[in-house]
Amino acid sequence: MLKRLRESKSMQGTFLALPTTLWMFVLLIIPLILTLIVSFGKRSPDGNVIYTFSFDNYARLIGISHTCADGSATCFDPLYINILWRSLTLAFNTTVVVILMAYPLSYFIARAKPAQRNIYLFMVLIPLWTNFVIRVYAWMMLLRKEGAINIIIGWVASLLHLPFTPLEMLYTPGAVLVGMVYEFLPFMILPIYTSLEKIDGSLYEAAADLGANAVRTFLRVTLPLSMPGVVAGTILVFVPVMGTFVVSDLLGGKQVILVGNLIQRQFLDARDPAFGSAASLILMVMTLIVTYFYTRKFGFGEEIVAA
């Protein structure tokens, strides 16, 4: 046995992959199967799961309702579809805003002198040392009616003798977007920076030598070569934004409910794990579909992952 193991390359490979495979199985495959089983179940009156094989939870998610206002047996209720759609658009908007903010910043950092570059990168990373939830609370302090932003605007307004009523910023979709952008900006900056920093300086000289001005060099050389970073960053931002509930919970209040919040509430407040499981799987499938089509078009940003 040992002798064969020593001689066979493919057996060595299998053997080496064993621990990882085991962990994958225990931590990913088994919970996924359990979730799938539960999602076909029903909520018992005392908040437990009755194991059956019914698609009711999925039907409910896509809008087939049995509690209709007009008293009929079934009707269409877009409640959950709206939540899914809201999550999707928010994730999309967040990603777009984050790309637009991160790209110029990364470009600036990559073009800075090496010593300064490290300082800037350090500044990008510092917020990550503080817990995510605490930083969201900080945003609450800033955005509140009596918060720092309103105080400053009010102060400026009073100096200019303008009338001012404090802005309602907290618990709006805008606040959730701001929070998401803030949370995920570093995850876009770092991969884009890495891909920009890796571009060989002689390519810029070659472009100049061949007659390209700064704008065309950027569009034809810099941008395409940094796309792997943008792609990697997009995946790193889009996927978690689809699933988080902390930001929307704290900054969106009851106004902005996302799939993440929906799932969380099913497991905690509503005590309906079966419905929560179905929602989790729908979220997963939706994220997978979007990522699949996206990566089919742009690749995985392999060069960044490999770096």
Partner 1 sequence: MSSEFAVELRDVVKKFITPEGNELSAVDHVTMQIKNGEFFSMLGSSGCGKTTSLRMIAGFEWPTEGEVFIEGQPMGHIPPFQRKVNTVFQSYALFQHMTVAQNIGFGLEMEGVEKSEIKKRVGRALEMVQLTGMERRQPKQLSGGQQQRVAVARALVKTPSVLLLDEPLGALDLKLRKEMQLELKALQQQLGITFIYVTHDQEEALTMSDRIAVMSKGKVQQLATPVEIYERPTNKFVADFIGESNFLEGVIKEISKDEATVYVPVLNAELKGMPMSPDFVNGEEVAVSMRPEKIRIVEREADGDTLFKAKVLNSVYIGSDTHVYVDMQGARLKVMEQNRISRLDPSSFYSKEQMITLLFMPENTLILKKG
Interface ranges with partner 1 (CB under 8 A): 200, 202-203, 205-213, 216, 220-221, 224-225
Give least dist CB 103 to partner 1, A.
17
Q: Are strands 64-65 and 75-76 parallel, antiparallel or unpaired?
A: antiparallel
298 in Cβ contact with 227 (< 8 Å): yes
Q: Is the dihedral of CA 137, 149, 257, 237 positive or negative?
A: negative
Give least dist CB 209 to partner 1, A.
5
| CA separation for the pair 188, 179 (Å, rounded) | 15
Nearer to partner 1, 75 or 221 (CB): 221
Given the structure tokens 């969201």, which residue do they identify?
136
Give least dist CB 210 to partner 1, A.
4
Give least dist CB 195 to partner 1, A.
12
Give least dist CB 99 to partner 1, A.
19
Nearer to partner 1, 141 or 206 (CB): 206
285 in Cβ contact with 239 (< 8 Å): no
156 in Cβ contact with 148 (< 8 Å): no
| CA separation for the pair 106, 124 (Å, rounded) | 10
Which residue type, as a one-letter code, is found at position 72? S
Nearer to partner 1, 36 or 206 (CB): 206
Pair of tokens at residue 209: 């030598």
Nearer to partner 1, 153 or 225 (CB): 225
| CA separation for the pair 99, 93 (Å, rounded) | 10
Nearer to partner 1, 153 or 221 (CB): 221
Give least dist CB 198 to partner 1, A.
11
Give least dist CB 299 to partner 1, A.
11
| CA separation for the pair 102, 230 (Å, rounded) | 9
| CA separation for the pair 171, 76 (Å, rounded) | 28
Cα separation values, 62 from 82, 84, 264, Å: 10, 10, 18
252 in Cβ contact with 241 (< 8 Å): no
Nearer to partner 1, 221 or 239 (CB): 221
Q: Is the dihedral of CA 103, 106, 111, 116 positive or negative?
A: positive
Nearer to partner 1, 111 or 220 (CB): 220
Residue (of 6, 244, 13, 204) closest to 107 by Cα position? 204
89 in Cβ contact with 286 (< 8 Å): no
Nearer to partner 1, 226 or 264 (CB): 226
Give least dist CB 221 to partner 1, A.
6
Give least dist CB 187 to partner 1, A.
24
Nearer to partner 1, 69 or 115 (CB): 115
